[in-house]
């Protein structure tokens, strides 16, 4: 990896700031669709096999074991989870490439400097690999929770003699809540990815200061409203939101406006 000093590279120009560089909304939507597909396939198998086997178990003096009732559904969930982890891993890698290009273009737009020769394609391999692992872990956790909730619903249904119709409603509610959690994971992880990648590239270019920018609407949390427009120093471990960059706190839509030099208004 080549470290360089962007300020020295562009000479005496002062007061330059880099344009906003964040993840693509389309990538968030794609991530959400991947996770929802995993849950949709699970729901389809519930309707196809689980509910009928469950209903039969209620009429059987020798009650059918829970493991038999949920077997087909959990097999589908396992397969769908593996596909989701592969798809998300590829999506994260693709988005990282896009963000790298966006950083190079942003620097050129703001400074006229072409840093493409200084940006190695393998520089972020370790970082992106760890981000992929984090996302795979989150999808695994979502899948495991879904599995557990389905099993518990069936077990409780057998204990209480819950009707097939009522169990179906309960399972649909479980999948609905898991889908919403999946949507949150998707947006949160894509936001974190853009922050982590841009921070890496900015520091590689010798940048230290950024200005905290918000969306400027009523949804901005009070702490971030207080940070809005203020210069932050990445060398200060307590800068930003207790040391966190914009877009790192969950549901944070703020962004870092990177500054080539320390501003005089700090």
Note the pLDDT tens digit of each residue in 175-204.
999 999 999 999 999 999 999 999 999 999
- Tell me if 130 is assigned to some domain: yes
Query: Do 126 and 108 sit in the same domain of this protein?
Result: yes
Query: Do 43 and 123 sit in the same domain of this protein?
Result: yes
- Tell me if 1 is assigned to some domain: no
pTM: 0.93
Which of these three, 156, 178, 206, is where a domain ends?
Answer: 206
Per-residue pLDDT tens over the stretch 67-88: 999 999 999 999 999 999 999 9
Which of these three, 164, 184, 206, is where a domain ends?
Answer: 206
Query: Do 182 and 221 sit in the same domain of this protein?
Result: no
Query: Do 246 and 200 sit in the same domain of this protein?
Result: no
Query: Do 95 and 167 sit in the same domain of this protein?
Result: yes
- What is the domain extent for residue 201? 17-206
Query: Do 165 and 95 sit in the same domain of this protein?
Result: yes
Percent of the chain exceeding pLDDT 70 equals: 97
Query: Do 180 and 214 sit in the same domain of this protein?
Result: no
pLDDT attached to residue 145: 98
Q: Where does the pLDDT of residue 15 fall: very low under 50, low under 70, confident under 90, or very high at 90 and above? A: confident
**Number of domains composing the chain:** 2
- Tell me if 4 is assigned to some domain: no
- Tell me if 7 is assigned to some domain: no
Which of these three, 179, 206, 233, is where a domain ends?
Answer: 206
- Tell me if 241 is assigned to some domain: yes
Query: Do 177 and 45 sit in the same domain of this protein?
Result: yes
Query: Do 139 and 91 sit in the same domain of this protein?
Result: yes
Say how far apart CA 264 and CA 266 lie, in whole Å. 6
Q: Looking at the predicted structure, is the pLDDT value of residue 1 above 90?
A: no
């Amino acid at each position: 990896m080549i470290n360089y000093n962007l300020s020295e590279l562009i000479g005496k120009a002062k007061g330059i700031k880099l344009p906003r560089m964040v993840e693509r909304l389309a990538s968030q939507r794609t991530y959400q669709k991947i996770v929802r597909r995993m849950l949709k396939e699970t729901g389809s198998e519930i309707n196809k096999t689980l509910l009928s086997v469950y209903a039969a178990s209620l009429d059987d003096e020798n009650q059918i074991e829970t493991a038999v009732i949920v077997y087909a559904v959990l097999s589908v969930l396992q397969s769908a989870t593996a596909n989701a982890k592969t798809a998300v891993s590829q999506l994260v890698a693709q988005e990282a490439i896009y963000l790298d290009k966006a950083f190079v273009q942003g620097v050129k737009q703001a400074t006229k400097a072409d840093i493409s020769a200084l940006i190695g394609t393998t520089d972020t391999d370790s970082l992106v690999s760890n981000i992929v692992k984090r996302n795979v872990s989150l999808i695994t956790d979502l899948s495991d929770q879904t599995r557990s909730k389905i099993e518990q619903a069936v077990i409780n249904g057998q204990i209480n003699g819950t009707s097939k119709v009522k169990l179906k409603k309960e399972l649909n509610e479980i999948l609905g809540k898991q889908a919403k959690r999946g949507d949150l994971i998707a947006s949160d992880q894509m936001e974190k990815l853009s922050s982590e990648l841009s921070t890496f590239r900015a520091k590689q270019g010798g940048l230290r200061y950024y200005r905290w920018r918000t969306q400027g609407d009523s949804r901005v949390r009070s702490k971030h409203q207080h940070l809005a427009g203020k210069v932050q120093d990445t060398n200060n471990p307590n800068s930003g939101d207790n040391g966190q960059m914009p877009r790192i706190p969950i549901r944070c839509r703020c962004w870092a406006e990177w500054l080539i030099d320390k501003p005089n208004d700090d």
